[in-house]
Amino acid sequence: MLENQQPPGRARRWLLFAGVGAAALALDLASKQWAWDHLRPPPGRPLVLWPGVLELDFAYNQGTAFGIVDHVGRPWWLLIVAALVSVWLVWLVRAASTRRPGIVGAAMILAGTLGNLHDRCFRADELGRPGVVDFVRVYLPWGGSWPSFNVADALLVIGVALLLLWGTRAPPAAPAA
C-alpha cells in the first residue's frame, strides 16, 4: 500500500479479512492433512526439499509452542484464549485506523489460531491423545534444527509481524498546500 493511501472502507476491510483468513485456514488444514496422510510413519518418510536446510517431516506435538508445556490435552483454557484473541482481532479490523497490512495480519493470526485449535480439538493419534501436526523442519547452520512447525505457526508469526510493523499506524498527514 502506498503511504498516502487511507485505510480501506468497511466492506473492503471485511472482505479482505474474510478472504485472507479463509484461504489461510484452508491452506493450513489441507497441509496438515497432507502431512498426516503422507509423512506419518509408517510408511511415511521425510521429504527433503533442500538437503541440510529444509525438510518436511512428521511430528505430533502434544504440547504448546516449542514444547513449553509437554502435554496439553484438550484444555478449556485454550478455547478461552482463542475466543479472546478472535474478539480482539475482530475489534482491530473494525477500527477505522487499521490499514491493509494490519487487516491481513489479523486474518493470518485468526487463521493460525483456529487451525491449531482445530487440531487440538478434533485430531488424535492412535492412542487417542490430542495434538497438533507439525511437519516443517528447518536446520540451523551450526547444527540441530528449529523446532518443527506448521503453516498455522508461520501464519501466527507473520501476522504478528504485520501488526507490529504496519498494522495500526496512522497514515501520514497530507502535505499542506
Amino acid at 166: W
Residue 96: its pLDDT value, please? Answer: 72
Which residue in 28, 57, 119, 153 is the catalytic one? Answer: 153
Residue 171: its pLDDT value, please? Answer: 59
Residue 155: its pLDDT value, please? Answer: 97
Residue 160: exposure state from Cβ atoms within 10 A (0-12, 13-18, ≥19)? middle
What domain range is 29 assigned to? 10-167
The values of phi and psi at residue 3, to 5°, are -60, -25
Residue 169: its pLDDT value, please? Answer: 61
Is 70 an active-site residue?
Answer: no
Alpha-carbon distance 61 to 71, whole Å?
8
For residue 172, is it within any domain? no
Is 134 an active-site residue?
Answer: yes
Which residue in 28, 57, 119, 134 is the catalytic one? Answer: 134
Q: Which residues of the chain have pLDDT under 70?
A: 1-8, 64-75, 167-177
Residue 39: its pLDDT value, please? Answer: 96
For residue 108, is it within any domain? yes
Residue 69: its pLDDT value, please? Answer: 61
For residue 173, is it within any domain? no
Residue 148: exposure state from Cβ atoms within 10 A (0-12, 13-18, ≥19)? buried
Quote the number of domains for the chain.
1
